[in-house]
Amino acid sequence: MLSYRYEPAPLNAKYLFTNKIDRWFTFEGVTLASSKSGRHLLITDLSNFIENVSRVQIVDALEKAVPNLAASGPEKLQIRNAIATLDRLLSEWTFSRDHDLPQNRDASAFLSNILLSFVDREMTRKGYDYYRYVDDIRIIADPELHARRALQDLIRQLQKVGLNINANKTEILAPDVSGTKRAEYFLSQDSSTIAINQMWQSRSYGLGNRYRGRTKGQLTGKEQRSAVSQVVQGTGSLIFKRALLAASSLDDVRVVLPMHDAPLFEHTLAETPARVVALSKVS
């Protein structure tokens, strides 16, 4: 499992998880290398993933994990109290009081991972070369019959936690698949995705744009205006990067050209533009 893992030594103390963009590139890089090594590659994702995650099953999974923790009795009691608090909060935060966690939130993805960790363990225990990033799942197998058997096992495990695959996004790629077909599933090789990653890597929470005065002492009016402009531009750039990353995470969005003030993207659903606009406002 390569997404939303706890980072014990984060570069940014305010962010608890490993860099999700880096993890996605790792996910694609590993499976791409394997797909070129003469083996079949099963590609699928989950149908309406976050919407179908059950609050009750998340809480149940957390409670079952408590006995195995390396913690004292009083510490385990505190953990159980925290789980009970989380249960009450999720009943308010979920849109149906049991399903549909808030969208595009790191905490939702992390909690969903807790539920899917059961599936991850079972598929690994069965010996599959199994990889998952949030709701994207890839299994490397050979021959094709083994890949089809893996798909059936995956469906059975997902049904145990109330989830299922998206049949429209499920395919088994043969070792001799064309480069064009393979590229459809490895977007990190696409120039626009690389551009977004470079933007993310270059972000600066300290807003590094600063104006260097030509002389010592008090800045002139022009220098003051330029300095303010640099900060405003840096802030706007950071807001845009966050919005673009949030939009690119939507299933129905494919960023074509990440221009600084008017990104161009492709979509199929009528409501997608409104969702992108809403994400931009949140960012």
Tens digits of residue pLDDT in 197-209: 455 444 444 434 4
Q: How crowded is residue 160: how many other Cβ atoms within 10 Å of its Cβ?
A: 11
Q: How confident is the model at residue 75 (pLDDT cuts 50, 70, 90)?
A: very high
Check whether 191 has a pLDDT greater than 60.
Answer: no
pLDDT greater at residue 259 or residue 124: 124
pLDDT at 71: 92
Percent of the chain's residues with pLDDT above 90: 27
pLDDT at 239: 73
| Token duo for residue 3 | 């997404």
Percent of the chain's residues with pLDDT above 70: 71
pLDDT digits (tens, 9 = 90+) for 124-136: 999 999 999 888 9
pLDDT at 35: 76
Angstrom distance (rounded) from CA 74 to CA 80: 10
Whether cis (ω within 30° of 0) applies to the bond prior to 263 is no
Query: Are the beta carbons of 258 and 199 closer than 8 angstroms?
Result: yes
28 burial class (0-12, 13-18, 19+ CB within 10 angstroms)?
A: buried
pLDDT at 155: 96
| DSSP reduced 3-state for 15 | coil
pLDDT at 207: 39
Query: Are the beta carbons of 158 and 20 closer than 8 angstroms?
Result: no
pLDDT digits (tens, 9 = 90+) for 83-112: 999 999 988 888 777 887 877 677 888 888
Check whether 238 has a pLDDT greater than 50.
Answer: yes
pLDDT at 209: 43
pLDDT at 66: 93
Q: What is the mean predicted confidence (pLDDT) over 202-230? A: 55
Angstrom distance (rounded) from CA 185 to CA 176: 15
Check whether 226 has a pLDDT greater than 50.
Answer: yes
Q: What is the mean predicted confidence (pLDDT) over 20-33? A: 77
Sign of the torsion angle spanned by Cα atoms 209, 215, 219, 224: negative
Check whether 142 has a pLDDT greater than 70.
Answer: yes
pLDDT greater at residue 120 or residue 100: 120
Among 10, 61, 8, smallest CA distance to 205 is for: 10
Q: What is the mean predicted confidence (pLDDT) over 27-36? A: 80
Query: Are the beta carbons of 173 and 43 closer than 8 angstroms?
Result: yes
